[in-house]
């Protein structure tokens, strides 16, 4: 999803927001605390978008009634817990965000090994 652009990204994000706000958070959205964070503007955190997109795709596949009946249990065990723990970790993508107060996350500085040498 992160590699989409323009209308393709907007369409995918719309669907992800719909699922997150109407399925995921009403059922699995626990209270926000200093040790279990959530950002009300989660879609502005690329890591959260990537993690939630993967979670949504897994949910779509594993909750399909035509699939194995143990799919939902596998989704809870293998996907939901790890993704939510990563997102809500105090050092995770929402570090610095408080309820109703989004703070953009600084990207680590990077250098390139391909910088042209002077001379």
Average pLDDT rounded to a whole number, residues 100-105? 87
Q: Which domain holds residue 76?
A: 39-97
Among 60, 52, 40, 47, which Cα is nearest to 13's?
52
- Using DSSP, state whether 72 is helix, strand or coil: helix
pLDDT more than 90, % of the chain: 70
Predicted TM-score of the model (pTM):
0.86
pLDDT at 25 over 70: yes
Residue 3 lies in a domain: no
Average pLDDT rounded to a whole number, residues 94-119? 83
Distances (CA, A) of 15 to 10, 19, 35, 60, 104: 9, 6, 29, 12, 23
- Split into its structural domains, the chain has a count of 1
pLDDT for 54-86, tens place per residue? 999 999 999 988 888 999 999 999 999 999 999
Residue 77 lies in a domain: yes
Is residue 62 within 8 A of residue 74, CB to CB? The reply is: yes
pLDDT at 118 over 70: no
Q: Please state, rounded to an integer, the average pLDDT across all residues of the chain.
A: 92
């Amino acid at each position: 999803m992160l590699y989409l652009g323009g209308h393709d990204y907007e369409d995918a994000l719309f669907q992800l927001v719909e699922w997150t706000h109407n399925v995921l958070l009403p059922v699995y959205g626990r209270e926000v605390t200093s040790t279990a964070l959530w950002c009300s503007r989660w879609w502005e955190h690329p890591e959260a978008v990537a993690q939630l997109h993967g979670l949504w795709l897994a949910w779509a596949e594993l909750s399909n009634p035509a699939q194995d009946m143990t799919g939902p249990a596998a989704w809870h065990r293998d996907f939901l817990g790890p993704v939510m723990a990563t997102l809500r970790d105090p050092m995770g993508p929402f570090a610095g965000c408080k309820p109703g107060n989004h703070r953009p996350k600084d990207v680590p500085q990077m250098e390139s090994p391909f910088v042209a040498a002077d001379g």
